[in-house]
Amino acid sequence: MDRELAMEVVRVTEAAALACGRWLGRGKKIEADEAATSAMRAMFDSVNMNGTVVIGEGEMDEAPMLYIGEKLGCTQTPEVDVAVDPLEGTNLVAKGYGNAMAVLAISDRGNMLHAPDMYMEKIAVGPRAAGKIHIDDPLEYTLKTLAVVNQKNISDLTVMILERERHNHIIEAVRNAGARVRLFGDGDVSAAINTALDETGIDLYVGTGGAPEGVIAAAALKCLGGEMQARLVPEDDEEVKRCKEMGLSDPRQVLYMDDLVKGDDAIFAATGVTDGELLRGVRYLSNDRAETESIVMRAKTGTTRFIKATHNLPNKPHLVMK
């Protein structure tokens, strides 16, 4: 992979965000996702790479997919694996909530876990805590460790947890330990990334969410020097079989950073669709213009860029809902 590829893929997430942003608050998550997917697929056709989708859109959403095994790009090199979520937070856009993004991650061929679309236990921290936590440690112990490395009182730590009934015991444990809880409705990727950015004030992300989103978040954390550990949660014999087909003899083994994204290089790009802690959402302006805010990161160089762009939109009839 080269530095030009990192800048090229931002155009892909920008296109997806611009396409689905018009569906904000319209209550139609499938249509929003389809718009993002179509725009992302079309823009990939102009990117100089030989890409293979190893993580496509979540089947749980019953949405149109950039399917696993699909070929992307317009050249023979570099050969890369691609993980995509054209619209992370379909419900967020449908309901007009914040923190929806168009996201993707790229690694050299064969370096990204081909995660099946099932649940995954995850824990994520920023650079100061990398190498100092373990997914099997008691939560109270983890919080004490974070207090030391982040130079905070436990009462000043903030933990992001997906608001689901299955996480009630985690929420209670964090509160009992004296730390603060920040609940969110959707958007695992941005929640994990927030742990690695000081300005967000988030110290820990923990909980069970989608496995594909876990791998994409791991690529971002590799770029930022953070850490994610994970464990797949197969719910039936078919999902156990899928894990073993991936080469995991023990479907419940702990997955470390190099299990999720191997090697010393990865690229992560995201464009905000709705306003969030990480990125501002799409702004549609007068005279068929729009503004986007994106982030692109590369692990090999440690570079993180925030990109604000103004786009001239195609002159075509405005979206009319039937």
Residue length, the chain?
322
For residue 99, the one-letter residue type is: N
Tell me whether residue 59 is in a domain: yes
Tell me whether residue 47 is in a domain: yes
Tell me whether residue 146 is in a domain: yes
Judge if 130 and 253 occupy the same domain: yes
Judge if 45 and 65 occupy the same domain: yes
Tell me whether residue 231 is in a domain: yes
Judge if 134 and 239 occupy the same domain: yes
Tell me whether residue 320 is in a domain: no
Number of domains in the chain: 2
CA distances from 124 to 112, 171, 192, 248, 259 (A): 18, 16, 6, 22, 15
Judge if 11 and 59 occupy the same domain: yes
Question: Model pTM?
Answer: 0.90
Judge if 134 and 23 occupy the same domain: no
Range of the domain at 254: 119-260
DSSP calls for 207-234: EEEEHHHHHHHHHHHHHHT-EEEEEEE-
The distance in angstroms from the start CA to the end CA of the chain is: 44
Judge if 146 and 87 occupy the same domain: no
Judge if 10 and 91 occupy the same domain: yes
Q: What is the pLDDT of residue 57?
A: 63
Judge if 250 and 271 occupy the same domain: no
CA 302 to centroid of chain Cα atoms:
18
Q: What is the CATH number of the domain that holds 54?
A: 3.30.540.10
Judge if 164 and 249 occupy the same domain: yes
Q: What is the CATH number of the domain that holds 133?
A: 3.40.190.90
**Other beta carbons less than 10 A from residue 311's beta carbon:** 16
Residue 141 phi/psi, 5-degree rounding, is -65, -45
Strand partners, 80: 51, 108
CA distance 144 to 131: 15
CA distance 6 to 45: 15
Tell me whether residue 61 is in a domain: yes
Judge if 144 and 77 occupy the same domain: no
CA distance 133 to 230: 12
Q: Give pLDDT tens digits along the chain (322 positions).
A: 677 898 899 999 999 999 999 999 999 999 999 999 999 999 999 999 999 998 886 444 444 568 888 899 898 888 999 999 999 999 999 999 999 999 999 999 999 998 878 899 999 999 999 999 999 999 999 999 999 999 999 999 999 999 999 999 999 999 999 999 999 988 889 999 999 998 899 999 999 999 989 999 999 999 999 999 999 998 888 888 888 887 788 888 999 999 999 998 999 999 999 999 889 999 999 999 999 999 999 999 999 999 999 999 886 545 544 4
Tell me whether residue 301 is in a domain: yes
Judge if 63 and 102 occupy the same domain: yes
CA nearest neighbour of 135 among 59, 72, 189, 206: 206
Boundary residue ending a domain (224, 241, 260): 260
